[in-house]
């Protein structure tokens, strides 16, 4: 209440001051205008009198003056006139003016001497009057000047009315402003603040839902943003605590962001993590005049961003967005995520030539098809290899600059784009703890021997203290490849490789997803109650059953095989025609590469063919959404779908399968999962399929849609337990703990030898 009173009083004072200044200026202007008008009238009277007496002699002046005085008093508020000779003495004047004639004579002498008209305001006979003296250039009939006395009493009355109206206007404005201020404060400030306080009380006592709607105006925009972020974190922490309590009696304890943060702090002695990857977690792109932030569609980003949010540190990545460089500081850094900054993103610029050779060339036309083994022939070019080496060196230089001044830093290098980076860093910083995690499969030794530079790649990876893969099979393949290609000492009993006196541990670390929160940038309850009919209606489709797929448009994801299975499903089970629609969230990827460009065109053509084959009004069997999608747009579909299909022809882990399971808080729905995806080793209650077997995949779709609810709940509950136990925070904790342990073991060995 005190704030409201202070606000009203302050506004009233300001309004009163402005009104007073305005009235003062208006009064001054009006006073001057009235004075000018009175002077004009007096001048006309004086001039007319002089013209009247110009032809008269002195003897005829007095009677003529008395008659004219009465006439002017009636018509123009002239109350008196007087004529003066050249010596300034009065010749004749109105009778009542006799008492003031001496002063009038002095007034006349000044005007006659200066030969200039003179004006003054004076109270005459208790009346405010204007005295106007007009001298003649040459005396006429003995008259040298004429004095006109004009009533000016109405001017004071007019000015008093102006002040009175100003006062009333200020009073009305103050009352109106007070009323409007009270209404604004009550509706726009007090109300939302009271609502926020009530919401926070419910949240504190455990009765809140986390949903709070505040006005989006400028005044409340920062508060709404911070309160929403607070709700996001609080609900996630509450849900994590609930899940931890739920699984507390199980052999594997539950990992939360808070626990991971404390774990990393203890293991690293308070030092920050350094992550290096090609793909950045947040990309700034221009949409017209606006700058938008998008999250690239990549399993690596899905895996690492929650870890970095929890632990903090620096993420070093290629700045690929066309708006990336407008938001960084002079050191090419920006704090992310926007609105809730948790860690630093250090962007590295690459020229088109570097990107074409290192990324689109050697990495994605050479190593990618080589490791994924999906019958796409790898392409290896000497020019691409040279760019791959150059970019790895550039990232090494940037990383070393970021590590400057940090003792015993911990560096997590991500994926196949930086196979040479571990050794480049270790050569300059032998004290650094370096791990590399390979997010895609590692093929058998014979397959990898296709690469002309396999020895250089293996030598670079073995510069790390720890090499991680998704599965034990990939670890076995890597060690076999090293054993056949390099002179080194392989210790199968400890799964380690010694090369030039340096030991590299090789271990599996199955990557996970956030749990129970599916996406760290989306509120945990977002889209929880959107029915599938509404989601499909927004896409222009009417159907009662929904299937989804989410991935980059890549030939390794089994998209064509999946669509053929959907086509075969409708052929074998025609009752579902018009009832079941499949929504594919496909993010365009690597379209600079011809094989990817051609593959995307093939996917679109196949979807068009199948949709045309089963064409019906207001229904399509497949809805293909070719664009990058925000997590908040995908999450409602995860929660509403009857079935999710993951049909990778070969995959490291595939986090879409785990995201779908994490999103199913109601423990219903079914997952169709390729046996060639790493996730199939953990999610054994999914419907495991061979993506090359179109008939069995069609049958699996039918089985998923007709699965009894009790079986859905049983399967989903077990899969959710697995996803919960092996979430992304446990993955990050295991990787850091293993790396810290290896360094401690090495230091202890050196001390014992010493």
Choose from 36-45, 224-233, 298-307 the range with maximum mean pLDDT: 298-307
pLDDT band at 447 (very low <50, low <70, confident <90, very high): very high
- Give the pLDDT score at 199: 64
- Percent of residues, the chain, with pLDDT higher than 70: 80
Query: Lowest mean pLDDT: which of 144-148, 470-474, 555-559?
Result: 144-148
Contact 129, 20 (CB under 8 A): no
Torsion sign (Cα): 617, 619, 621, 624: positive
Q: What is this structure's pTM?
A: 0.70
The CA–CA distances, whole Å, from 574 to 85, 488, 571, 704, 707 equal 126, 60, 6, 16, 18
CB atoms within 10 A of CB 372: 23
Residue pLDDT, tens place only, 512-531:
998 888 888 787 766 667 89
Does position 140 have pLDDT exceeding 80, yes or no?
Answer: no
pLDDT value at residue 215:
55
> Do residues 133 and 83 make contact, with C-beta atoms less than 8 angstroms apart?
no
pLDDT, tens only, 61-86: 666 655 655 555 434 465 677 777 77
141: left (phi over 0), alpha (psi -120 to 50) or beta: left
What mean pLDDT comes out for the span 46-66?
63
Query: Within 13 A of 53's CA, how many CA atoms are on the CB side?
Result: 32
Which one has a higher pLDDT value, 33 or 683?
683
CB 648 within 8 A of CB 674: yes
Between CA 423 and CA 438 the distance in angstroms is 15
What DSSP state is assigned to residue 616?
B
Q: Is 669 left (phi over 0), alpha (psi -120 to 50) or beta?
A: left
Spatial distance between the Cα atoms of 690 and 707, rounded to a whole number of angstroms:
20
Residues with Cβ < 8 Å from 14, sequence gap 6 or more? none
The closest alpha carbon to 311, from 731, 743, 659, 729, belongs to 729
**Do the beta carbons of residue 348 and residue 332 sit within 8 Å?**
yes
Instruction: Express as a percent the part of the chain with pLDDT over 90.
Output: 49
* Bridge partners of residue 63, in order along the sequence: none
What average pLDDT does this structure show over 101-106? 62
User: Helix or strand or coil: residue 499?
Assistant: strand
Is pLDDT of 35 > 70?
Answer: yes
> In the prediction, which pLDDT does 250 show?
45
Report the C-alpha gap between 754 and 751 in whole angstroms: 5
**Dihedral over alpha carbons 684, 689, 691, 696 (to 10 degrees):** -170
In this predicted model, what pLDDT tens digit does every residue of 563-613 receive, in sequence order? 999 999 999 999 999 999 999 999 998 888 888 899 999 999 999 999 999
Burial class (CB in 10 A: 0-12, 13-18, 19+), 718: middle
Whether pLDDT at 227 is above 90:
no
């Amino acid at each position: 209440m005190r704030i409201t009173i202070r606000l009203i009083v302050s506004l009233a004072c300001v309004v009163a001051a402005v009104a007073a200044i305005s009235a003062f200026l208006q009064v001054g202007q009006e006073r001057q205008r009235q004075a000018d008008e009175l002077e004009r009238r007096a001048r006309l009277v004086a001039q007319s009198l002089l013209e009247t007496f110009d032809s008269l002699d002195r003897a005829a002046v007095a009677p003529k003056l008395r008659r004219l005085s009465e006439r002017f008093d009636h018509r123009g508020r002239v109350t008196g006139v007087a004529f003066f000779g050249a010596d300034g003495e009065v010749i004749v004047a109105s009778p009542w003016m006799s008492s003031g004639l001496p002063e009038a004579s002095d007034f006349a002498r000044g005007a006659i001497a200066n030969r200039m008209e003179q004006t003054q305001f004076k109270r005459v006979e208790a009346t405010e009057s204007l005295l106007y003296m007009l001298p003649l250039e040459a005396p006429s009939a003995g008259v040298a000047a004429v004095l006109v006395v004009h009533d000016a009493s109405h001017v004071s009355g007019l000015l008093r009315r102006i002040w009175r109206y100003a006062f009333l206007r200020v009073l009305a404005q103050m009352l109106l402003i007070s009323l409007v201020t009270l209404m604004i404060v009550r509706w726009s400030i007090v109300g939302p603040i009271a609502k926020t306080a009530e919401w926070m009380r419910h949240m504190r006592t455990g009765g809140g839902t986390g949903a709070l709607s505040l006005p989006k105006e400028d005044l409340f925009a920062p508060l709404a943003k911070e309160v929403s972020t607070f709700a996001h974190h609080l609900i996630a922490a509450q849900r994590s605590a609930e899940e931890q309590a739920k699984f507390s009696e199980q052999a594997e304890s539950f990992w939360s962001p808070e626990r991971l943060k404390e774990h990393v702090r203890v293991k690293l002695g308070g030092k920050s993590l350094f992550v290096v990857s090609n793909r950045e977690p947040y990309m700034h792109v221009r949409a017209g005049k606006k700058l938008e932030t998008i999250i690239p569609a990549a399993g690596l980003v899905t895996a690492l961003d929650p870890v970095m949010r929890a632990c903090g540190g620096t993420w070093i990545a290629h700045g690929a967005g066309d708006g990336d460089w407008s938001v960084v500081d002079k050191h090419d850094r920006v704090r992310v995520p926007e609105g809730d900054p948790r860690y630093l993103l250090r962007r590295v610029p690459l020229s088109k030539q570097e990107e074409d050779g290192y990324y689109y060339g050697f990495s994605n036309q050479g190593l990618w098809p080589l490791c994924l083994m999906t019958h796409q022939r790898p392409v290896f070019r000497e020019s691409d290899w040279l760019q791959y080496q150059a970019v790895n060196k550039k990232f090494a230089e940037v990383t070393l600059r970021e590590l400057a001044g940090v003792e015993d830093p911990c560096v997590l290098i991500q994926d196949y784009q930086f196979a040479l980076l571990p050794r480049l860093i270790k050569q300059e910083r032998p004290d650094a703890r370096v791990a590399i995690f390979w997010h895609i499969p590692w093929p058998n030794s014979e397959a990898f021997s296709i690469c002309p530079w396999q020895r250089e790649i293996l030598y670079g990876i073995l510069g790390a203290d720890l090499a991680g893969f998704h599965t034990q099979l990939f670890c076995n393949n890597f060690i076999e490849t090293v054993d056949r290609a390099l002179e080194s000492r392989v210790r199968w009993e400890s799964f380690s490789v010694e090369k030039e006196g340096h030991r590299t541990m090789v271990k599996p670390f199955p990557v996970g997803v956030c749990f129970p929160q599916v996406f760290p940038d989306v509120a945990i309850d977002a889209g929880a109650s959107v029915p599938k009919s509404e989601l499909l209606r927004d896409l222009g489709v009417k159907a009662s059953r929904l299937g989804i797929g989410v991935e980059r448009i890549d030939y390794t994801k089994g998209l064509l095989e999946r669509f053929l299975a959907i086509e075969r499903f409708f052929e074998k089970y025609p009752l579902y025609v018009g009832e079941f629609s499949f929504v594919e969230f496909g993010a365009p990827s690597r379209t600079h590469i011809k094989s990817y460009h051609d593959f995307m065109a093939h996917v679109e053509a196949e979807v068009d063919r199948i949709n045309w084959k089963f064409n019906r009004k207001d229904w399509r069997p497949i809805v293909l959404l070719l664009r990058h999608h925000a997590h908040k747009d995908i999450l409602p579909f995860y929660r509403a779908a009857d079935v999710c299909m993951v049909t990778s022809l070969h995959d490291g882990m595939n986090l879409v399968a785990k995201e779908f399971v994490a999103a199913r808080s109601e423990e219903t729905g079914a997952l169709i999962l390729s046996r060639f995806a790493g996730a199939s080793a953990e999610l054994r209650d999914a419907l495991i399929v061979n993506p090359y077997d179109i008939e069995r995949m069609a049958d699996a779709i039918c089985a998923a849609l007709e699965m009894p609810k009790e079986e859905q709940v049983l399967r989903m509950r077990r899969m959710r337990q697995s996803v919960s136990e092996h979430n992304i925070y446990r993955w990050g904790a295991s990787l850091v703990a293993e790396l810290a342990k290896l360094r401690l073991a090495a230091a202890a060995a050196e001390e014992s030898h010493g």
